Structure 1
């Protein structure tokens, strides 16, 4: 058999196999790609993580709620909008104290952080009716914490179809509400009975 012009002929080794001939193997995970967040995670606009003097979570409580994006204040923790949200209503529950690790929280802080997380879910359900939530903490920079030095619990509302092509194709995240409107709605609904 003569060569095919691409170096695949007699004596050139086996013919390359077509990937379409192999069964598809998956790991069972869905993927939510968010490349737009790299501007925040690794870019020049990333907040410093050099201690409480530079910490945006330490600075926010000293501002007016609308300026600091604070939705609610408690005795030990507060709820603040994520400056770079995955979805409208993406809240962070932060202790006032500048601590990095969940094990550093006092019993009172731990209790109020849990209660604020529950109230954040109730409030966001009243305000925008999401289909579900992602809750979580990234402990340490290696685990994905953008600001590792100040503990924060993410409360991310999820909506059917909220992961679309825009972030991947157009490096754009469609957010139908601006921060001020979301903060006002959440703040007004915080603590209201259902």
Structure 2
């Protein structure tokens, strides 16, 4: 490969005092530089659509239909209501990111019954209370993407996102590195939220 004239060679890059000796060589990733890499290979499952339903039909092919049949710890279900349940997102934007999902396989908000609307609202309010009790969230993004065109990952089964936010949580990591750092295992987050559910 021909080196670009505006791109420094490995010999031209000064060794950073902040990188330990054993990490300064980055074979296979290009010109060595002073940056450490945080790899997030679990995100590839989301990017490649792993576990995404191939059909819009209800049943075991829909993860939101299947999850309630599993134990809470296996499904990452935080709380079960009368007409809906709260479950952690496998690909969270922030720690504690969960979804409120009606049990019934329905795509559009206008198709929910009054009882389902009430339970989704109640569980959303309770989710906010539990997340605040566990992690002192400063705010929340709450909403649902209706249809694939609006960004719904699983458009056939409605789900409302509850994403906790903190001052400064959009730092250089997602902005520059397109990486979110999650300091806790999802199973631990589920246990904390379930214990604090009002």
What TM-score bracket applies, with the shorter chain setting the length? 0.7 to 0.9
Correspondence 1:58-73 to 2 at 5 A: 58-73=65-80
Correspondence 1:38-187 to 2 at 5 A: 39=44, 42-45=47-50, 47-50=52-55, 51-53=57-59, 54-187=61-194
| Alignment root-mean-square deviation, CA | 1.9
Matched, 1:190 2:175: no
Q: Which SS does the other structure have where 2:85 is aligned?
A: strand
Distance in 2 between residues matched to 1:78 and 1:135, nearest whole Å: 16
* TM-score with structure 1 setting the length: 0.75
Distance in 2 between residues matched to 1:67 and 1:159, nearest whole Å: 28
Distance in 2 between residues matched to 1:39 and 1:112, nearest whole Å: 33
User: Which structure has more RCO (C-alpha within 8 Å, separation ≥ 6)?
Assistant: 1
Distance in 1 between residues matched to 2:43 and 2:181, nearest whole Å: 16
Unmatched runs of 5 consecutive residues or more in structure 2: 1-40
Larger Rg: 1
Unmatched runs of 5 consecutive residues or more in structure 1: 1-35
Q: Which moved more, 1:51-60 or 1:131-140?
A: 51-60
* TM-score with structure 2 setting the length: 0.74
Distance in 2 between residues matched to 1:131 and 1:140, nearest whole Å: 29
**Deviation of 1:117 (Å):** 0.5
CA change 1:49–1:145 in 2 (3 A) is farther
Residue 19 of structure 1 is matched in structure 2 by none
